[in-house]
């Protein structure tokens, strides 16, 4: 997550979860593709081997890291975890050179694949959110060079290349049918979308409805943000009904891409979450809201819902985050997005919980709480 995140909230955000198989009465039978972000900005985190055990016990099959940490890549070998790795922002200038990109892929990806199931490379993170026009200019050439290196090494059919963006790239998000990108990112975004379309790669979004509520709690309904029962809104142009902020923003992004001629690109959510603790001015950052947000989100996605605009299309989501990261800079909320404390104890229960080791062979391995606490603004 970029440092800008706490001050770059947009009016609405969206999220979508990937396919989950389930049986009734709140018990999951197994999760085929639920991702989580595994950040490492802490001084007391579990070892990669213990993290792998935690993910496996929760039946999570997808994770994203913010570098190419060789200890993690080694530890995750021969597991069922699909992994997205990241090219740090400061590396983009170097990797616009195709030879440098080939060397990077040969050193950071090829030695670990296919034992470690690397499925994606995130080139930078929230490049559009800052004011660094030079870094923005490096983005697409770096993506092209890295993809070219994958082609040269015969890995391009297995590993996708994209870049996660904040929804601050949107100039308009309400109503969803008005979705459009900001003029200042339009030229580079057009190149990104062209690349994604040509390589059949997804558009990745970091989406945090928490920021929208924090910045305007008097006008934005907490129930609407948290997926609690509410009257919702109707897009005046499409007449589609939205009962939560995230689905509205999914469709706003789809409309924004369609306006640029790229309506067919898949959208995946590379980050979303809610802080369980914040500073006095961080309205809504409570453990109760964090638990309700994630729990309701999980419950809604058990129904394999699409958005009102694309009701039959499933998408992937990577929850932020696995751990509270005690060394992250910024406001208190930045260090309190984790489902778990660094020592592996649970921050709060959203419905994912492991059974004891004595019942590890049971088909019912994850519990989903049957009801959510409704929180009033």
The residues that are catalytic are 126, 271
Q: Which two tokens stand for residue 145?
A: 């060079």
Of 1, 2, 7, 4, the residue nearest 282 (C-alpha): 7
DSSP SS3 for 30: strand
Nearest to 138 by CA among 103, 91, 200: 91
Q: Look up residue 354 and give its two tokens.
A: 């492991």
Instruction: Kindly tell me the burial class for residue 310, based on how many C-beta atoms sit within 10 Å of its own C-beta (0-12, 13-18, 19 or more).
Output: middle
φ and ψ of 248, to 5 deg: -60, -40
Report how far residue 202's alpha carbon sits from residue 217's, in angstroms, rounded to the nearest whole number: 32
Output the CA angle 52-55-61, nearest 5 degrees.
105
Contact partners, residue 330, CB within 8 Å, separation at least 6: 3, 6
Query: If DSSP codes are grouped into helix, strand and coil, which group holds residue 310?
Result: coil
C-beta separation of 248 from 174 below 8 A: yes
Residues 245, 284 contacting (CB under 8 angstroms): no
Question: Beta partners for 118?
Answer: 83
Identify whether the C-beta of residue 357 lies closer than 8 Å to the C-beta of residue 341.
Answer: no
Kindly give the pairing relationship between strand 241-242 and strand 233-234.
antiparallel
Put the strands of the sheet holding 366-367 in their side by side order.
20-22, 27-31, 366-367
Question: How far apart, in whole angstroms, are the C-alpha atoms of residue 29 and residue 23?
Answer: 6
Neighbours of 77 (CB within 10 A): 15
Q: How far apart are CA 24 and CA 318, in angstroms?
A: 24
d(Cα 364, Cα 30) in Å, to the nearest integer?
8
């Amino acid at each position: 997550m970029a440092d800008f995140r706490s001050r770059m909230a947009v009016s609405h955000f969206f999220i979508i979860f990937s396919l989950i198989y389930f049986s009734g009465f709140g018990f999951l039978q197994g999760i085929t593709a639920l991702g989580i972000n595994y950040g490492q900005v802490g001084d007391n985190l579990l070892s990669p081997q213990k993290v792998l055990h935690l993910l496996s016990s929760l039946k999570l099959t997808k994770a994203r890291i913010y570098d190419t940490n060789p200890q993690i890549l080694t530890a995750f070998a021969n597991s069922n975890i699909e992994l997205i790795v990241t090219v740090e922002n400061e590396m983009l200038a170097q990797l616009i050179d195709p030879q440098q990109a080939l060397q990077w892929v040969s050193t950071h990806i090829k030695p670990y694949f296919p034992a470690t199931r690397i499925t994606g490379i995130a080139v930078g993170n929230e490049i559009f959110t800052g004011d660094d026009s030079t870094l923005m200019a490096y983005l697409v050439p770096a993506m092209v060079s890295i993809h070219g290196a994958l082609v040269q090494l015969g890995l391009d059919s297995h590993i996708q290349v994209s870049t996660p963006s904040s929804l601050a790239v949107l100039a308009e998000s309400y109503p969803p049918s008005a979705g459009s990108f900001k003029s200042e990112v339009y030229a580079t975004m057009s190149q990104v979308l062209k690349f994604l379309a040509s390589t059949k790669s997804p558009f990745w979004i970091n989406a945090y409805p928490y920021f929208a509520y924090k910045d305007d709690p008097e006008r934005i309904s907490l129930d609407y943000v948290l997926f609690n029962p509410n009257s919702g809104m109707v897009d005046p142009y499409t007449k589609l009904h939205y009962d939560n902020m995230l689905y509205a923003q999914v469709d706003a992004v789809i409309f924004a891409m369609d306006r640029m001629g790229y309506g067919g690109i898949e959208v995946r959510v590379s980050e979303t979450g809610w802080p369980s603790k914040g500073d006095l001015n961080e309205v809504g950052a409570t453990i109760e809201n964090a638990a309700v947000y994630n729990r309701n989100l999980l419950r809604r996605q058990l129904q394999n819902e699409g958005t009102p605009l694309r009701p039959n299309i499933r998408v992937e989501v990577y929850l932020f985050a696995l751990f509270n990261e005690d060394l992250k800079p910024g406001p208190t909320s930045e260090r309190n997005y984790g489902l778990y404390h660094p020592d592996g104890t649970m921050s709060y229960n959203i419905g994912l919980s492991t059974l004891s080791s004595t019942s590890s062979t049971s088909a019912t391995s994850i519990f989903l709480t049957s009801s959510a606490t409704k929180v009033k603004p």
